[in-house]
Amino acid sequence: MSKIAIITDSNSGIKLTEQNEDLYVLPMPFIINGEEYFEEISLSQEDFYKKLAENADISTSQPSPFQVKEMWEKALETHDEVVYIPMSSGLSESCHNAIEFSKEYPNVTVVNNQRISVTQKASVYEALYMAKNGYTPAQIKEYLETTKFDSSIYITVDTLKYLKKGGRLTPAAALIGTLLNIKPILQIHGEKLDSFAKALSMGQAKAKMIAAMKKDLETVFKEYYENDEMELYIAHTNNEEEALKFKTEIEKACPKLKVKHLDPLSLSVSCHIGPGALAIATARVTKK
C-alpha cells in the first residue's frame, strides 16, 4: 500500500501545530502595507486583527510555485504520493495554479474540493482517513470532488466597513447599513461568497442563520442528515466568546447534532469581513 501524504493550506483553519507525519499545512501569504507575511509564521491571528484595527492595507496572496513545490517535495521524501487540497478554486487561483504545477509531479494529485475554512478542514480529515485505510489518491480525489457541494456556510458580519473596503458594498449602501445597524448574512456554497439575507441585529442574524441551516439539513441534505452523515461547525473572526454562546443556541435548535468544531475563520475570509463575524457551517462526512 502506498504511503500517502495529505497537504492543505492554512485557509482550512488547520493550525501548523496540528501537522503530523501524514498531514502538512502550507501557510498562506498576505501583503500588509507592501510587506509579505505568512499565516502562523510571521502573522498571528492577534497581529492580523491589530493591523486591521489600524486600517493597514491588507490583501490576500497566493503561495509561490517554489513554496508549493517545496512542500510537495518535502512530503515525497517520506511518502510515495501526495494529495493536495487547496482552498476553493472559486475563491482563489491557487488551485488552478497547483493543477498546472502538478503536471511536473506524477505522484501529486490536486483536489478541486471548492471548500474553505471549516468545511475544507472536514475534507482534509476525510482524506487522511481514506489514505490510512487503503484508498488511492485517485479514489480520494473522486470522492472529495463528488461530495464537494455537500456543504454550506452562513456568515454574518459585525461591521460593513470591510465589505465596503473590498468593493462588495457601495459607500452609500455601507453608510445606510451602518446607520440602520443592518447585519448582512452571506453564504459560501462551493465557488461563491454571496449575499443571502439581511438582519436588523446580531440576534436576528443568528436566528436567521440557524433557521437557514435547519432548512438545508431538512431539505437539501435530508437524506444525508437522516443517515447521520452531516456535521455542524462554528467559525468566527476574533469573536470566540460570542461563538461559544452561538454554539449553545445552535445545539438547542438542532438537538440531533452536536457542533464538531469551533474555529477561527481563515484569515483569507476574515480579511474581507472583519472582526466580530459569526458563521455556522455543515458538511457531509462519511469517512470517519
Out of 146, 162, 196, a domain closes at 146
Q: What predicted TM-score, i.e. pTM, was given to this entire model?
A: 0.89
Identify the DSSP state of 43. B
User: Same domain, yes or no, for 182 and 234?
Assistant: yes
Indicate which CATH number applies to the domain containing 158: 3.30.1180.10
User: Same domain, yes or no, for 75 and 203?
Assistant: no
Produce one character per residue of 33-42: b if its CB has 16 or more CB atoms within 10 Å, e if not. Answer: eeeebbbeee
Q: Is 105 helix (H, G, I), strand (E, B) or coil?
A: coil
Instruction: Find out whether 65 and 98 touch, Cβ atoms under 8 Å.
Output: no
Q: Quick check: is 222 in a domain?
A: yes
User: Same domain, yes or no, for 8 and 142?
Assistant: yes
Q: Is 109 helix (H, G, I), strand (E, B) or coil?
A: strand
Indicate which CATH number applies to the domain containing 77: 3.40.50.10440
The grid coordinates of residue 262 equal 469551533
| pLDDT for res 59 | 86
Identify the bridge partners of residue 156 per DSSP, sorted by sequence position. Answer: 185, 278
Pairwise CA distance, residues 117 & 153, whole Å: 9
Out of 104, 130, 146, a domain closes at 146
What is the span of the domain harbouring residue 108?
4-28+63-146
108-110 sheet: strands from edge to edge: 23-26, 4-9, 81-85, 108-110
Handedness of CA 14, 15, 17, 22 (dihedral sign): positive
Cα 17–chain centre separation = 18
User: In the chain, which ranges are continuous DSSP H helix?
Assistant: 45-53, 65-76, 94-101, 117-132, 137-146, 161-165, 171-179, 202-218, 222-226, 240-253, 267-273
User: Same domain, yes or no, for 136 and 231?
Assistant: no
What's the domain count of the chain? 2
pLDDT tens digits, the chain, 288 residues: what are they?
A: 789 999 999 989 899 999 999 999 999 899 999 999 998 899 898 999 999 889 899 888 888 899 999 999 999 999 999 999 998 765 567 788 899 999 999 999 999 988 888 999 999 999 999 999 999 999 999 999 999 999 999 999 887 676 656 544 444 333 334 434 678 888 887 656 677 888 888 999 999 999 999 999 999 999 999 999 999 999 999 999 999 999 999 999 989 899 999 998 888 778 878 899 999 999 999 998
Out of 124, 146, 168, a domain closes at 146
Q: Quick check: is 199 in a domain?
A: yes
Phi then psi for residue 151, to 5 deg, are -160, 160
